Structure 1
Amino acid sequence: MDFLNVVVRFFQEGGPFMFPIAIVLALGLAIAIERFVFLGSARRTNKKAFAQIEPMLSARQFDKILQLGQQNRAPVSRVIAAGIARLKLSPRREDVEYAMEEGLMETIPRLEKRTPYLGTLANISTLLGLLGTIIGLIAAFSAVANADPAEKASLLSQSISVAMNTTAFGLIAAIPLLACHSLLQTKTTEIVDSMEMAGVKCINLLMSRQGVSASTRASDE
């Protein structure tokens, strides 16, 4: 209960700029939670989808892979389906790679969506804290100028202490937002790298199967 009272008093003494900083912090945390949930879901669905696609590739069940890419929410299924669709038109490895890269480029913006906002919101909260402190100091010096000389030192120290609360709260809001931004970028990079690795595995498997089929036809002839 004492901690809650300290927090409430700290917030009240910070001045009007504490409210926009609190709004920025709440908005940033909401974005961070939504992104963590989305990326965690994407990672799980990717693993599940690739486990389904790999035996289909070995069996060359391309129609099922295309159907899975249309129905499944996993990003990796859409990337591989794009390569399979191009394989039906052109068996060249380069064309399949380009198609998968195009599918990956379409998927990455969904993974990175709203994550850059966290860095911007962290900067905004810091700047709001500094602005609140500066305005508070201006008001403090204006009030001290008309105060009794014996009370000037006491009033000035109290006013500066209150003004610094805004800067402190701005930094309190900025630090977790920056940490979330860094963590989300790392998770996004890991997902993209895993999708690229899955794409390379699929291409190697497809090309090796094609090589086996070609050599089998040649020996039969």
Structure 2
Amino acid sequence: MIWLDKGGPVVWILLAYSILGISIIAGRYLHLLFTHRVNFNHPVEQWPEGPEKRLVIQLLNKSNTQGLHTDLHEAAIHHIHKELKPFESGMKTVSILAQTAPLLGLLGTITGMIKAFQVIENAGGAVDAMALAGGIWEAMLTTGIGLSVAIPLLILLHFWESAVTRFHWRLQRAAALVLHDTDQQQATMTAA
């Protein structure tokens, strides 16, 4: 590919950014998409094995041993974060890649323009347009590639963050089922 040679080392770095970012997003997002969804209208026993069922079982076990709402609430928060962690892993890395890709493109623009001005200086002012073309080509190419890497990464990162938010909501809803039942049991015991 001619643009890899013409763009200089910045283009290679941006290519690595793209591959790394897409790999992280694809792995986490696909894992999240293929996580079994539960039907909250069905009893927990009918839920498929997955994060929501694990969360509810852990909370039910904790409520049977301790029964205090505050401890159970803290346990719910802890287990929700534990279930979210694998899906959020790499999010900051992709964000950094997406935010720095245009800056790397700008760096490539600067280095390309420096090359073009070096050609002018070496030629003593009488410059052939072909001699300048290499530096200008590198300058424009790196800017375009920097933006071409950043824009898709930012869009995919947004979709990934939205999917994680929906997953977080599902975990909270599962935890709320146990917390609500525990509240009702404590209210019944207090009334008796």
**Do the two structures share a fold, i.e. TM-score over 0.5?**
yes
In the aligned structure 2, how far is the partner of 1:110 from the partner of 1:55? 25
Q: How does 1:34-113 map to 2 (within 5 A)?
A: 34-42=27-35, 45-47=36-38, 51=42, 53=44, 72=49, 74-113=50-89
Report the alpha carbon displacement of residue 112 of structure 1 after superposing the two structures with TM.
0.8
* SS, match of residue 17 in structure 1: helix
Residues 55 and 160 of structure 1, relative CA distance in 2, 3 Å threshold: closer
* Distance in 1 of aligned mates of 2:8 and 2:46: 63
Letter in 2 for 1:26: I
1:128 aligns with 2:128: no
Unaligned 5+ runs, structure 1? 1-7, 57-67
Shift of residue 102, structure 1, vs aligned partner? 2.0
CA contact (8 A) 2:18 2:149 kept: yes
Report SS of the residue matched to 1:47. Answer: coil
SS of corresponding position for 1:151: coil
Deviation of residue 205 (structure 1)? 3.5
- Checking the alignment, whether the CA contact within 8 Å between 2:29 and 2:87 is kept in structure 1 is no
Q: Report the identity percentage.
A: 26
Q: Quick one: which of 146, 155, 178 aligns to 2:122?
A: 146
Q: Secondary structure at the match of 1:195?
A: helix
Show the counterpart of 1:32: 25
Distance 1:41 1:50 in 2: 20
- Displacement of 1:171 in angstroms is 0.9
Which digits, 9 at most, give the CA deviation of each residue in 1:179-200, with x for residues without a partner? 1111111110111011111211
CA distance in 1, matches of 2:132, 2:82: 57
3-state secondary structure, aligned to 2:38: helix
Task: Tell me how far 1:209 sits from its aligned partner.
Answer: 6.0
Q: Give 1 or 2 for the bigger CA radius of gyration.
A: 1
Could you tell me whether the CA contact under 8 Å between 1:14 and 1:165 is conserved in 2? yes
Corresponding letter in the other structure for 1:93: H
**1:172 paired residue number:** 148
Q: What TM-score, normalized by structure 1, do the two folds share?
A: 0.73
**Cα distance, 1:134 vs structure 2:** 1.3
Count of equivalent residues: 191
Q: Does the alignment pair 1:18 with 2:47?
A: no
Query: Any unmatched runs of 5+ in structure 2?
Result: none
Where does residue 192 of structure 1 map in the other structure? 168
Structure 2 length as normaliser, TM-score? Answer: 0.83
Q: Is the 8 A contact 1:46 1:77 kept in 2?
A: no
